[in-house]
């Protein structure tokens, strides 16, 4: 599935991932391939991408989870996600 993470200043990430874990108002939720369409607000926390690797150009924006080579985390203050047909856009601060 294709995910884009955008801030007002720059593109944080754009590429293929296996799944994404997001900080929602009612707790974290996981979006996987073939997930139903969703639009949701996000709160402060970490957006976690699950992928074998990410492009070097975007790697500088992420921290790796300790002991988990395939989990990449990006801290946000707030945002919104739209996901449909295996494509997701995360707009965040």
Q: What pLDDT score was predicted for residue 65?
A: 81
Could you tell me the pLDDT band of residue 20, with boundaries at 50, 70 and 90? Answer: very high
Q: Which residue has the tokens 């884009």?
A: 4
Closest CA to 54 of 91, 12, 21: 12
Contacts of 33 (CB under 8 A, 6+ apart): 1, 18, 19, 86
* Residue 44 and residue 77 in contact, taking contact as beta carbons nearer than 8 Å: yes
Question: Which residue segment(s) compose the domain that 53 sits in?
Answer: 2-92
Identify the band that residue 71 occupies on the pLDDT scale cut at 50, 70 and 90.
Answer: very high
CATH of the domain at 46: 2.60.15.10
Residues 33-69: tens digit of each pLDDT: 999 999 999 999 999 999 999 999 999 999 998 888 8
Q: How many domains does the chain have?
A: 1
The size of the chain, in residues, is 93
Is the whole-model pTM more than 0.85?
yes
């Amino acid at each position: 599935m294709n995910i884009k993470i955008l801030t007002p200043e720059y593109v944080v990430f754009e590429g293929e991932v296996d799944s994404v874990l997001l900080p929602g108002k009612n707790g974290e939720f996981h979006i996987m391939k073939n997930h139903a369409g969703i639009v949701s607000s996000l709160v402060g926390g970490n957006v976690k991408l699950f992928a074998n690797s990410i492009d070097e150009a975007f790697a500088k924006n992420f921290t790796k989870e300790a002991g988990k080579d395939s989990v990449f985390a990006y801290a946000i203050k707030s945002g919104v996600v739209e996901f449909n047909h295996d494509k997701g856009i995360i707009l965040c601060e």
